Amino acid sequence: MRKQRLVMVGNGMAGMKTIEEILKHAPDVFDITVFGAEPHGNYNRILLSPVLAGEMTLADIMLNDLDWYSANGITLHAGRKVVEVDRVRRVVRSEDGTEEGYDRLLLATGSNPFIPPVPGRELEGVIAYRDIADTETMIEAACNYRHAVVIGGGLLGLEAANGLILRGMEVTVVHLGEWIMERQLDRPAAEMLQASLEAKGMRFRLGAQTEALLPAADDPAGRVAAVRLAGGETIAADLVVMSAGIRPNTALAESARLHCDRGIVVTDTMQTVTDPRIYAVGECVSHRGVAYGLVAPLFDQARVCANHLAGFGIGRYEGSVTSTKLKVTGVDVFSAGDFMGAEDCDNIVLHDRAGGRYKKLVLKDDRLIGAVMVGDTSDGSWYFQLVREGRNIAAMRDQLMFGQSFAQSQLGDAGHQGQNQAALLPDSAEVCGCNGVCKGTIVKAIKEKGLFSLDEVRKHTKASSSCGSCTGLVEQILASTVGGAYQAVDKHAKPVCGCTDHTHAEVRAAIREHKLLSIPAVMKALDWKTPNGCATCRPALNYYLVSTWPHEAEDDPQSRFINERAHANIQKDGTYSVVPRMWGGLTTPAELRAIADAAEKYQVPTVKVTGGQRIDLLGVKKDDLPAIWADLGKAGMVSGHAYGKSLRTVKTCVGAEHCRFGTQHSMRTGVNLEKMLFGMWSPHKVKLAVSGCPRNCAESGIKDVGVIGVDSGFEIYVAGNGGIKTEVAQFLCKVATEEDVKEMTGAFLQLYREEGFYLERTCHYVERVGLDYVKRLVVEDADSRRELHERLLYALKDAPDPWAEQQVQPLARHYKTIQIHDLSGESSHGMAESVSA
C-alpha cells in the first residue's frame, strides 16, 4: 500500500518533535518531506544564549543534523522558504520553484520578531534575535564594536544583553515597561533581579520609548551609531538588538486562506479549523485564543498532533499551564501560573534584599495558583506541579513557603525529600545509586543530546530508571539545566509505562470507544512498543478490560501477579500468607475450628489477628495452598482477598446489636456491604468500615468508604487512607436507611472503578477529579447514582455467591494447575486464576 505523503513547512523544534513522535509510533505510515528556511538541521534554539556567551557552539546545540534526516528517510529541503500552498492540488511550492505534493500538511512556521516601527530600523547593525544567523552577527559585532543597546527587557532581551556583556560589550537595556520581565515577574522580583544585573555591569532605561535609531553624522546610510529616546536622551549604540516580542508567522497560512486570529487557529487535535488535512503546531498556532512561546506547551502540541497523524485519534490538547525558569548572569529566576494574583487571593511573601532572595506564593481557595522566585528557585518544579495539579494545600499551608522538603517532612511524606540538593551537588556526586550515574553525566547528556523530559534523561543515562528514589533529584537537575524548556509532566499525563506513550486515561478511553476485549487487541490498536508488554502495563490493561467489559473481556491469568493467582500474599521467605474472609469481622466456632485445624495440619508457624478483624495464617508453603483452601472451603470460608486490588475488609464495631451507645446496626450493615461487594476488582485495594455511633470505634474516618451511624441514619465518608500518609475521609452525604448506604457506596465505588487509574487509591482519585464532581454524579443525580450501582451489580453478578449454603471447595474452582511465569520473572509450577468476575 502506498505511503501517505506528509509535508512539513518549518524545521524548528515543535515541528521536528512532531516528526520524531510520528517516527516513534508509526514509522511506516508516511513519506516525509521537510522544508526549512535555514541551511541547517534542527537545532535547540533555547541554547542560542550559551552560544552567544561563548559557552557552546552550533554543533553543540544541534538536535538533528543533516545525516539524521537521511538515516530516517526524510527529504529535507534546507534553505528553501515555502511561498505557496495550493489546497486544491494539495501542493506546496518554495521560492526557488521546488514543489511537493501532500496528503497531510503540517505547518510549523514559528514566529517572527516584532520590529518596532522606529526611524532607522533599516540601518546596518540593527538586528532581531531569533536564530543562529542573528547570534553569529552579534558575535561578530562584539569583536569589532563596543556599545550595544537591547530594546526589550523580556526574557530573551536579558539573555542577549548577558551574552554581549560576556563578549566584552557595554550594554544598555531599553524597556518600555515599568519593570523588566513583566510577563514573568512581579515588580519586587524584577527590581531584585535588576539590582543583581546592574551589579554585573548591565544598564537599564525603564519606562523609556525608543524614538529613533541614528546613524553616524558622516554616514547617514551606514551603520547605526546611537539610540534616541523620547525626551531627547541619546545612547551610544554600534549594535541594536530588537527583542520587543514575537508575532506568529501566519503569512503562508493567510495566503492559503486558512483562518488566522493571532495565529493559525487549530482545534484540540491540532488540525486547522479551515482544512482538516492541514495541521499546525508551535509558535505559529492559536489554540483557544492563546499562542504559546515556551517549549513545554509546544512539545505537548507536538505529541497530540503526532498521535492524530499516526491514526490513533486519542490525544487532545487542552492548553497548558506554563512556567519560566532561567539563569541570568548567575541569578536564578522562576515563575508559574497567576503570580500577580487578584484581590480575592492570598499572597505569602518572603523578601530578603540582603540575601538576594524573593519568593511570592499566590493562593486561592486553598490552592496554589501562582509562584514567583528570585535567588533560590530550587523548589520551582514542585510549586509548578502544585499549580498544574490544583492540589489542595490546606494541610501544608503553614509550611509551604519553606519548600518541598520541609513541608513534606512535616506531613510525614519523605518520598521526595532531597530534590532541593541539586544546585549544591558537584558534578562528581552520584545521583542514581542503582545505575551509578553522577550529576555531571546527566548534565552532559542533557546539553549534548538536547533532552527536555525525565523520560529522555532516563533513556540516555539510566538515571531514575530503576527504583525511582532519585527521580525528584534528576528532575531538579533537568529543570536547572534547561530552564524554561523543562517539561514538568503532570503525573496523570505520564505514560502507563515505557512500553507506550499513552496515558492511563487514553488507554481506558480506547478500550471503551473501540470495544477492545483482550490485551493483544489493546496493544495492536495502540501500537505498543513491546510485543508482550511488561509487569507494569499488563496488570493495568487487564484491569481496564475486565472493569470496562466485565462479561466479555478476556481476563488473562498471566497478567495477574502471583499473589492474585495463588489467592495468598507471598512473604519475604517465599512462603505465603492465607487470610480467610470473616464477613464484617464476624466469625463462628466452626470457622475458628477450621482455621485451627488447618494451622495444625499444614504446620503453619504463625497465626495472627489482623488489623482488618480477620485471622492470618503466615508461613504456608506454596504446594499446600490448594489443599489448605479446600479444607477451609469445607467450613464455608472464602478468600479475604488480602492480596488483591479489590475489596479487602469491612471493619465494624458491635453497634446497636450490643453496644449501649450504638445508634445503628453496624455489624449487619457491614456484613451486607461486604457480601454485596465480594469479588469486586478495583484500581487499588479498597477498605470499608461501619461504626454504629459517632464514637467511631471502627475508624471509619480513614477508610475508602466510611459509614457512621447517627440517630437519624448514616453519614457516609469517602477517600480516606490509613497508609503511609494518612488521609482523612471526606463527608459525602447523609442517608436514612441501610439500603441507601448500599446504593450510595456501590455508586461511588463503581465511579472509582470506571474512572480511577490502575494503582490509584480513592483518595488520589477524588483529589484528581474533585469531591464536587463525585457528589454531582453519586449524590445529587439520582439517575446517575442508580445507573452506577446497577453497573456494579451487573459486573459482580457472576462472582462466587457468598450466600450459598453449600460452598464445597469454593476457591478450588478458581484454580487450575499449569506451568506459569510470574511477572516477577520466576518460572514455577503453581496456581493460576481462571476467568472470574
733 is in an annotated binding site: no
Beta strands 705-710 and 285-287 are: unpaired
From residue 137, alpha-carbon distances to 37, 42, 59, 114, 350 in Å are 18, 20, 17, 18, 41
The continuous run of DSSP H or E covering 618 comes out as: strand 615-620
Of 825, 822, 826, 801, the C-alpha closest to 566 is 822
Residues 766/730, Cβ–Cβ less than 8 Å: yes
DSSP 303: H
Burial letters for 433-447: b for 16+ Cβ neighbours within 10 Å, e otherwise? eebebbbebbbebbb
From residue 763, alpha-carbon distances to 181, 254, 445, 464, 770 in Å are 39, 49, 38, 26, 10
From residue 820, alpha-carbon distances to 564, 568, 627 in Å are 13, 16, 19
Residues 151/235, Cβ–Cβ less than 8 Å: no
Note every long-range contact of 506-511, with CB atoms under 8 Å and residues 24 or more positions apart, other chains counting: 506/314, 506/315, 507/540, 507/541, 507/544, 508/544, 508/548, 508/755, 508/757, 509/314, 510/314, 511/544, 511/545, 511/548, 511/549
Tell me which amino acid residue 551 is. H
- Measured distance CA(507)–CA(495) in Å, rounded: 10
Of 511, 478, 106, 499, the C-alpha closest to 304 is 106
Residues in CB range of 504: below 8 A, 6 or more apart: 492, 496, 540, 757, 758, 760
Give the count of beta carbons closer than 10 Å to the beta carbon of residue 694: 13
From residue 387, alpha-carbon distances to 47, 301, 320, 321, 378 in Å are 27, 20, 11, 8, 16
- Measured distance CA(589)–CA(792) in Å, rounded: 33
Give the count of beta carbons closer than 10 Å to the beta carbon of residue 773: 13
- Measured distance CA(817)–CA(802) in Å, rounded: 24
Give the count of beta carbons closer than 10 Å to the beta carbon of residue 17: 25
DSSP 678: T
- Measured distance CA(57)–CA(40) in Å, rounded: 14
DSSP 409: H
The phi and psi torsions of 474 (rounded to 5 degrees) equal -65, -40
697 is in an annotated binding site: yes
Tell me which amino acid residue 420 is. N
Residues 749/686, Cβ–Cβ less than 8 Å: yes
Of 212, 467, 194, 592, the C-alpha closest to 356 is 194
Binding residues for siroheme: 697
Binding residues for [4Fe-4S] cluster: 653, 659, 693, 697
Binding residues: 653, 659, 693, 697
